[in-house]
Amino acid sequence: MIKLTSIEKSYRHGLSQTFVLRRVNAEIKQGDFVSIMGPSGAGKSTLLHILGMHDSAWTGEYWLFDDPIHQLSAKDRMRVQKQHVGFVFQSYHLLDNLTVYENIDLPLSYRDVKKTEREGMVADILDRFNIVGKKDLFPNQLSGGQQQLVAIARAVVAKPSLILADEPTGNLHTDQGKEIMELFRRLNEAGTTIVQVTHSQANAAYGKRVINLKDGWIVDEN
């Protein structure tokens, strides 16, 4: 599903160059649940944003299914991203001005899904995530765990084949974190490929594989 070959990212500071990622080679199969781990500054989030196509300033080869992301224009990358990727952020990033319903509806509206179809899809997700009663609330009326639940609902509503999660439980209590990880496990069991960045061994244990990064290099993969 994903094939990375010699991915590198660096910043220039005058004459010197600082590498954030060095010669990253990795393969992720469909249905996999991969945890990216490593100390702060290892390049975990950077790698995730490259996978999510939020970052285009890198070198190397990145294949997603049959699409050579490294060769695509910004417009085509956007198309591929819309088609395959859902993203979950550590700090949820729900839009404060939108209700729970509208937040979940947003990715569908950006994919030009018809309104009647969207209504059915959002209703289905609200039901699956058991948050129908909260659909008219605004994010600031929800707890952290509830907000992350909504963020995951928003990430999966467009039925992506790949979910990228950047420390999804980083701002949550342990119990809330467990609930979220259980949810990821269920999504993975249902066929969604998941790549998460985490510091937590416990969270990594929900996954099938771990990629360890240090100073931009993959130091361990199991």
Partner 1 sequence: MGVLSQDIRYAFRSFRRAPGFTFVALLTLALGIGGTTAIFSLVDGVVLRPLPYADSSRIVRLNRIAASGGVDSFSAADYRDLKRDATTLSAVAGYRSDIVDVTGRGEPIRIVGTQTTAAFFDVFTAPPLLGRAYHESTDEPGAAVAVIGESIWRQQFGADPSVVGSQVRLNGVPTEIIGVMPQWVRHPAKSDAWTLSPLDVPTSPFGTDADKGGSRDVHYFTAVARVAGNHALIDAREQVKAIAKRIADQNSGSAGESVDAEPLAINMVADVRTAMMVLLSAVGFVLLIACANVAGLLIARGAARRREIAVRTALGAGRGRLVRQLLTESVVLALVGGGLGLMVAGWTLQLLVGFAPGNLPRLDDVVLDWRIALFALGTTIGVGVLFGLMPALQSSRPELSADLKDGGRSGTSRTGVRNVMVVAQVALALVLLIGAGLMLTSFARLRAVDPGFRTTDIVTVELMLPLARFSEGAQRSFYTGVLERLQANPVTAHSAMLFPFPFGGGNAQASLLVIGQPEKPPQQRQSAELNSISPGYLSASGLRLIKGRDFNTGDGADGPPVALISESAVKEFNGKDPIGEKIDLGEPVTVVGVVSDVRRRSLSDPPRAAVYLPYTQFVLPYMGAMIRTAGGVAAVASAVKAAVAQIDPDLPIGDVKTMEELIADSTGEPRFRSLLIASFAGLALLLAAVGVYGLISFTVAQRVPEIGVRLALGASPWQVFRLVIGSGLRLAGVGVLVGLAAAFGAARLVSGLLFNTSTTDPFIYVSLSLLLLTISALACYVPARRAMKVAPMTALRSE
**Residue 219 and residue 42 in contact, taking contact as beta carbons nearer than 8 Å:** no
Residue 75 Cβ vs partner 1, minimum distance, rounded to whole Å: 8
Residue 154 Cβ vs partner 1, minimum distance, rounded to whole Å: 7
Which C-beta is closer to partner 1: that of 66 or that of 96? 96
List contacts with partner 1 (CB under 8 A): 45-46, 49, 52, 54-55, 75, 78, 81-82, 87, 89, 93, 95-98, 102, 106-107, 109-111, 115, 154, 158
Which C-beta is closer to partner 1: that of 35 or that of 103? 103
Long-range Cβ contact pairs of 40-45 (< 8 A, separation 24 or more): 41/215, 42/213, 42/214, 42/215, 42/216, 43/9, 43/213, 43/215, 43/216, 44/197, 44/213, 45/166, 45/167, 45/197
Which C-beta is closer to partner 1: that of 62 or that of 89? 89
How many whole angstroms separate alpha carbon 140 and alpha carbon 97?
A: 10
Residue 198 Cβ vs partner 1, minimum distance, rounded to whole Å: 16
Which C-beta is closer to partner 1: that of 206 or that of 216? 216
Residue 124 Cβ vs partner 1, minimum distance, rounded to whole Å: 18
Look at residues 150, 148, 157, 187 and name the one whose alpha carbon lies nearest to residue 33. Answer: 187
How many whole angstroms separate alpha carbon 149 and alpha carbon 187?
A: 13
- Cβ count near 118 (within 10 Å): 20
Which C-beta is closer to partner 1: that of 22 or that of 93? 93
Residue 2 Cβ vs partner 1, minimum distance, rounded to whole Å: 18
